[in-house]
Structure formats: C-alpha cells, structure tokens
C-alpha cells in the first residue's frame, strides 16, 4: 500500500500499523508484539517500534535486553528477535530508569527511534503506542505515514469508553481504523478449562458495529499468554501451533487483507484547534 496521501513514505517500510488503546492495562503491548510475530509467520517481513517512551515493555517481552549495535555514530541497527526487527527506548536506558521528560522531548524521541534506526526492508512495521490520545499519538499522525490503526480493548465498559475515544481520534485525522481486537474476552481456567466472561461479553463486537469497522478477533484471558510474554518468548513464537497463536495469526491475516483494500489518508489533515475568549 502506498504511504498516506501528502506524506512521504519511509525508506524500506511499506506499511505502518498503529496499535492503540484508550486505556492502559488492556494487553495492547502483548497484542502488538504477537501480531508483529504473526505477520512474520505469515511470510511477511515485519518489525515493531515501541512508542511507549515512559513505559517501554517490548525489550522484556522479546527477551532482548542488550543494547542495539551502532551502525555508525548516528544510527542504530534494529534488534532482531523471533524473526522480527525491533527498536525501543528500553534498549537505551536502564530497566528501572524513569523517563522524566515533557511532551516535546517524548515526541522527538519517537521520531528519532523511527528515523535513526537502520531498518531492513519491511512489509509491516507495528507501532506499539502508549495508551490515551496525547503527545505521542499526535506526533504519530502528523509526522509519520500511518497506513492504518488497530484498537485493542477489553469487553469491560470502562475500557470501551476510552477505546471509542481512540477510535474517534484516528477518524478525525483521517487515519483508517482497520478494526477492533477484543482482548481478555474470556477467562480460561487453567485447571478445568472453564470459560467465563469476567470482564463482560460482546463489547468489542458492539463497538465495531457502532463505528462500522471490522471486528478483527477475540483473545482469551489465558495465563499462558502472560507467562510467555514475561519469559521473553511471546505466544506466537513460543507455541506457534497452539490455539492462541492461531487466533493471532488469523487477526494478522485480517489486517493484511484490510491494508490491501484500504487506502491511507493524509495525516497532515489534522484539525486546527482554536481557543476563543468569548
């Protein structure tokens, strides 16, 4: 797919997919890394950019805690794990070091991580956004040619309220919303296999219907997904033939299909906000 109209494409990157949520704690980062690996498993070249500057989690989930190599004195080589390229501020700071930065510095850091990395040729770059609709999200849609966004939510009403805000933000700036993923849709008991919708039921599908977008799939609240991410080998890499990995791969195929038929729009069409003193 070409870059969004009015914004130059990035060298060596064909498609950029933003993985977003309005609320933290819905499993967005776990979903993002598994989708990136799933895209690679489907035969595409893929990578992930950890855009959560304040709380980077991709180094831990990828099991890649060593700093990236310097290509020259100005750029970095991506860290390659589980068949995907990756870059994160977490590679460059201590594990417990806080990022005490204001918004402009955070936005600049995102652009540097993207542009100062010597990415290899990629069909898909997944960007794991922080929750909310703040500085990072604004930088993303104004400065980076995003081809589409995916919203991650749980069925819980509180999560859905914020997920709708994230969806509305992308629609306002003309970034196509490729669909909704419902995470933690069912709790699967590790002892007996009983499934129970402890966060509610059907919320992701209802949201997709409300906005006329695709419901990309639902993932269970399964302890193995958490354990595999914490161990540095996400589900699609740890158990590629398992039922959860198959769900991630089906969602990845859905996203690939949507990108083939959805044209990007100019992120430069970001609305101007005017404050009037009436």
Per-residue confidence at 5, pLDDT binned at 50, 70, 90? low
Q: What is the pLDDT of residue 255?
A: 97
Q: Rounded distance, CA 57 to CA 54, Å?
A: 10
Q: Is residue 164 over pLDDT 60?
A: yes
Q: Rounded distance, CA 201 to CA 198, Å?
A: 8
Q: What percent of the chain has pLDDT over 70?
A: 91
Give CA separation, 109 vs 90, 125, 198, 255, in Å: 12, 17, 38, 27
Q: Rounded distance, CA 180 to CA 204, Å?
A: 7
Give CA separation, 70 vs 67, 108, 111, 115, in Å: 9, 20, 18, 14
Q: What is the pLDDT of residue 15?
A: 96
- Rounded average pLDDT over 110-130: 95
pTM of the predicted structure, to 2 decimals: 0.88
Q: Are 154 and 203 in contact (CB under 8 A)?
A: yes
Per-residue confidence at 273, pLDDT binned at 50, 70, 90? very low
Q: Is residue 268 over pLDDT 70?
A: no
Burial label for 97, CB within 10 Å (0-12, 13-18, 19+), is: exposed
Question: Is the pLDDT higher at 243 or at 107?
Answer: 243
- φ, ψ of residue 177 in degrees (nearest 5): -90, 115
98-102, 210-214, 238-242: which has the minimum mean pLDDT? 98-102
19-23, 46-50, 176-180, 194-198: which has the minimum mean pLDDT? 194-198
Q: What is the pLDDT of residue 225?
A: 95
Question: Is the pLDDT higher at 260 or at 178?
Answer: 178
Per-residue confidence at 2, pLDDT binned at 50, 70, 90? low
Residue 123, classed as helix, strand or coil, is: strand
Q: Is residue 165 over pLDDT 60?
A: yes
Tokens matching residue 227: 């354990």
Domains located in the chain, CATH noted: 17-262 (3.40.50.300)
């Amino acid at each position: 797919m070409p870059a969004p109209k009015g914004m130059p494409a990035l060298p060596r990157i064909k498609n950029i997919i933003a993985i977003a949520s309005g609320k933290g704690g819905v499993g967005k980062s776990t979903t993002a890394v598994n989708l990136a690996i799933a895209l690679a498993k489907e035969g595409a070249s893929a990578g992930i950019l950890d855009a959560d500057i304040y709380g980077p989690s991709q180094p831990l989930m990828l099991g890649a805690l060593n700093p990236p190599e310097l290509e020259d004195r100005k750029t970095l080589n991506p860290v390659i794990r589980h068949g995907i390229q990756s870059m994160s501020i977490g590679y460059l700071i201590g594990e417990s070091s806080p990022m005490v930065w204001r918004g402009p510095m955070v936005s600049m850091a995102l652009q540097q991580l993207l542009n100062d990395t010597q990415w290899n040729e990629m069909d898909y770059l997944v960007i794991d956004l922080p929750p909310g609709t703040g500085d990072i999200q604004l930088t993303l849609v104004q400065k980076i040619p995003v081809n589409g966004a995916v919203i991650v939510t749980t069925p819980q009403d509180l999560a859905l309220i914020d997920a709708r805000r994230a969806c509305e933000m992308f629609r306002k700036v003309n970034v196509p919303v490729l669909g909704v993923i419902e995470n933690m849709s069912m709790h699967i008991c590790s002892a007996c296999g009983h499934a129970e919708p402890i966060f509610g039921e059907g919320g992701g599908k209802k949201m997709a219907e409300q906005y006329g977008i695709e419901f990309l799939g639902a993932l269970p609240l399964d302890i193995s997904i958490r354990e595999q991410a914490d161990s540095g080998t996400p589900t699609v890499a740890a158990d590629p033939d398992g039922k959860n990995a198959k769900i991630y791969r089906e969602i990845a195929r859905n996203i690939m299909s949507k990108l083939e038929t959805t044209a990007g729009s100019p992120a430069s069409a970001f609305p101007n906000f005017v404050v009037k003193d009436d």
